[in-house]
């Protein structure tokens, strides 16, 4: 056990570990009330204010140009303004904070237990599998992952074809058949991928679609609230 704790506040959540080798890592995620954080590397006024309130220097933040793919970039390999197309970052530099934006897609944090490498990905149905690629990018050794809030199987209705493709790729419990149709389960899909690699998995409960503490593309429509999830070592 790693002494995993999550705290919800008005406009953000944070988690931390009390286990000694992981206790320097932390994760934050903005909530609906923080306002729109902008997509990917875009800085809105709300993002600037939120980062300042969290004590995060804007120049230390590394984001990527998110495209719903499965590329994980090295956070040390580019400078702000020159972000690569990717949907995740891995990092070994204490001075950097890695961030992804989400609104129904799942933020997934992965940490090496020896404290030498960490990262975060943005994973929706199209990008599912990227969490495993991040775990691989962190190298050999014991790792811990945190699955963040996302649209959950209560709300993530899809057509039969997508459900079948998803279940054949990520396991039968990655899609759920209910009386009124088919639903994806991103938690089951990612838990399976990571646990098969020997990664310990923790989950932050919350469906971004039906729980109004969160921003959601599906609930809010085109003018939805991007949330920013960040990963760092303090
Ligand atoms: Zn829901």
Question: What is the pLDDT, as a whole number, of residue 60?
Answer: 96
Question: What is the pLDDT, as a whole number, of residue 154?
Answer: 98
Whether pLDDT at 188 is above 90? yes
In CATH, the architecture of 4-151+200-233 is 4-Layer Sandwich (3.60)
Mode of pairing for the β-strands spanning 143-147 and 97-102? unpaired
For 31-88, write each residue's pLDDT tens digit: 999 999 999 999 999 999 999 999 999 999 999 999 999 999 999 999 999 999 999 9
**What is the CA(156)–ligand 1 centre distance, in A?**
7
**What is the CA(143)–ligand 1 centre distance, in A?**
29
User: pTM for this one?
Assistant: 0.97
**What is the CA(22)–ligand 1 centre distance, in A?**
31
**What is the CA(157)–ligand 1 centre distance, in A?**
10
**What is the CA(150)–ligand 1 centre distance, in A?**
9
Return d(Cα 215, Cα 169) in angstroms, integer: 28
Whether pLDDT at 92 is above 80? yes
Closest CA to 107 of 221, 214, 233, 222: 214
**What is the CA(74)–ligand 1 centre distance, in A?**
33
Question: What is the pLDDT, as a whole number, of residue 1?
Answer: 66
Q: Are the beta carbons of 71 and 92 closer than 8 angstroms?
A: no
57 backbone dihedrals φ, ψ, rounded to 5°:
-70, 125
For 117-169, write each residue's pLDDT tens digit: 999 999 999 999 999 999 999 999 999 999 999 999 999 999 999 999 999 99
Return d(Cα 100, Cα 69) in angstroms, integer: 13
**What is the CA(211)–ligand 1 centre distance, in A?**
7
């Amino acid at each position: 056990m790693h002494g995993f704790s999550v705290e919800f506040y008005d406009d953000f959540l944070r988690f931390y570990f009390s286990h000694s080798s992981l206790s320097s890592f932390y994760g934050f995620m903005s909530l609906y009330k923080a306002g729109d954080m902008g997509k990917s590397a875009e800085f809105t006024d709300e993002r600037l204010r939120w980062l300042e309130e969290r004590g995060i220097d804007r120049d230390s933040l590394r984001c990527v140009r998110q495209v719903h793919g499965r590329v994980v970039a090295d956070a040390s390999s580019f400078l702000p303004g020159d972000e690569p197309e990717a949907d995740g970052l891995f990092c070994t530099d204490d001075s950097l904070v890695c961030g992804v934006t989400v609104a129904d897609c799942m933020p997934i944090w992965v940490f090496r237990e020896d404290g030498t490498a960490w990262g975060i990905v943005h994973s929706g149905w199209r990008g599912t599998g990227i969490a495993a690629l991040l775990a691989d990018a962190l190298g050999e050794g014991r790792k811990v992952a945190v699955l963040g809030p996302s649209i959950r199987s209560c709300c993530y209705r899809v057509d039969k074809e997508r459900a079948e493709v998803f279940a054949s790729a990520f396991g039968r419990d990655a899609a759920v058949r209910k009386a009124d149709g088919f639903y994806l389960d991103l938690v089951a899909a990612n838990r399976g991928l990571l646990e098969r690699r020997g990664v310990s998995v923790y989950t932050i409960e919350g469906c971004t679609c039906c729980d109004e503490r969160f921003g959601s593309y599906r609930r809010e429509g085109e003018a939805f609230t991007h949330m920013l999830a960040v990963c760092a070592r303090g």
